[in-house]
Amino acid sequence: MPTIFETMTVAARDRARMSEVSAVIARFGIESLFVRLGLSNGKNEEARGEDNLPTRVRRALEALGPTYVKLGQILATRRDILSSEWIAAFEKLQSDAPRLPFDMLRESVEAALGELPETAFARFDPEPLAAASIAQVHRATLHDNSEVVVKIRRPGIRRAMEADLRLLRHLASLVEQRSAAARRMMPSAMIEQLGRDILDELDFTNEGRNADMLRADLAPIPQVVVPRIHWQYTSETLLVMDYVAGVPPRDPVGLTAAGIDPSTIARLGARLVLEMVLINGRFHADPHPGNLLCLPPSGDTDQARLALLDLGSVGFVSTRRQHEFLTFILSLRGNDPSGVADMLASWSQSGDVPRERLLVAADRLVARHGTGALMLNAMVADFFPLLCSEGLVLPPDLVLIFKAMVTMDGVLAGIMPGFDLSEALEELRGRLLASRLSRLVAPDRIEALLLEVSRLSAEAPALMRAATMRMERSEEPRKDRALPSAIRHAAALLAGAVFLHALALLATGFLS
């Protein structure tokens, strides 16, 4: 719980930024939001022009800059805690920024390169190719004639975003202290997630490592292109990678005109997102149309290709989450409401929800999406409002998985309306099974299993003697009652030791 001293410290350190935030709040008339959150005692007035409150909040976030835009983008994924009106407003958030003259960036570029860009590169274009809130991109040519893009971090952006994060952390603590309704949204956890995401994206070496990891993960799919990173030029504030020319996946007519089959791209995109999430455990966390390019066939493959760009945000999926997500989808498609309800219960972070309510919710999902084409956008449009109405709150990492898959599903539907993701899931079943089995027989797991077997085998005689002595001391060894829990435990360990010892012998023979 924040103290008065902490509030005064934050206000003193970041008072200039607090003044800017206060001015934006007043300009867009969103004081009523703070009344709702219990941070103000003013009147909850809504009459502010023609725009509703969610739209005004969205415009205020855009005016406040990249930290607040990214917060809104996180909120746009939380259909489990926000109404459709708020989600629709936050989904329209734009992070575009004015293009800066290169003279304003030159000093930081020279410091990162250790030399002039005109000597580091055979050609450097001072006119920006694109600009966003965190960075600006320029074209260049290396001395070996490779075409590259140079991504330059905006000067002063880290200091500004760190100040924003301090203010937001304090605000989140105040909200949790004063509003029971807001506590359900877990604002402090949300701001911590925002902070991690921002710090990762501000360091361009993280994006470079992400690109290298995903390129290695996706090497078995030659139709997927991840731009090569030129590490000799790359640093925290500068990123140099291969230039990729392609067609944005926005309309099938444009793809056809470029000689790219839209149905091929749709199938490739489906396979790509399932491979990243369910097999590799690493995925592009924001695969929107601006971060994807469609390419015609090349010498490596006779099929259309898909390039992944802007890899500053990558999500990670644990083996447990992979299993849970797949179980949820298979239960849904297998007309198994009980299985769907089990997953909803295990995912919820908001306390116990009666089993009967979970089954009713699962029945509704299965009835609507258990058969026919699997379109994640349509399923999620039902799924998250249902979670919200039942008081279920998903873990943030699971929300990120849903967001990435729904974003890609939206891209695929734009390329090929009515695209059925279940076909791609069915085609991938064999690889999913092989992936699970390969993890079970991984050398490190087998080694750990054999060590545990060795320990249990050594303890088996002592366990047997302890169990025998305990039964001999018991006045009524069996009769009509169960064995004491200690004996049952010893017996279970003994049985496990015998079984694992036999398994070890088989494994040793198999591996030798």
Q: Which residues pair with 139 in a beta bridge?
A: 149
126-137 pLDDT, tens digit per residue, is 999 988 888 999
Q: What confidence score (pLDDT) does residue 294 get?
A: 93
Q: Which of 109, 142, 112, 143 is nearest to 126 (CA)?
A: 109
Q: How far is CA 70 from CA 74, 194, 221, in A?
A: 6, 7, 31
pLDDT band at 474 (very low <50, low <70, confident <90, very high): low
DSSP string, 314-361: EEE--HHHHHHHHHHHHHHHTT-HHHHHHHHHHH--S----HHHHHHH
Q: What confidence score (pLDDT) does residue 148 get?
A: 98
Which two structure tokens, joined as six digits, stand for 424?
């791609």
Asked whether the beta carbons of 76 and 91 are under 8 A apart, the reply is: yes
Q: How far is CA 21 from CA 14, 91, 194, in A?
A: 11, 22, 18
CA distance 141 to 123: 5
- pLDDT over 80 at 3, yes or no: no
Q: How far is CA 205 from CA 200, 285, 359, 505, in A?
A: 9, 17, 46, 47
pLDDT band at 512 (very low <50, low <70, confident <90, very high): very low
Q: What confidence score (pLDDT) does residue 488 get?
A: 57
15-27 pLDDT, tens digit per residue, is 788 888 888 888 8
Neighbours of 140 (CB within 10 A): 22
Q: What confidence score (pLDDT) does residue 47 get?
A: 45
The most confident of 262-271, 403-412, 419-428, by mean pLDDT:
262-271
Q: What confidence score (pLDDT) does residue 221 get?
A: 92
Q: Which strand ranges, in their side-by-side order, compose the sheet holding 238-242?
A: 123-131, 135-141, 147-153, 238-242
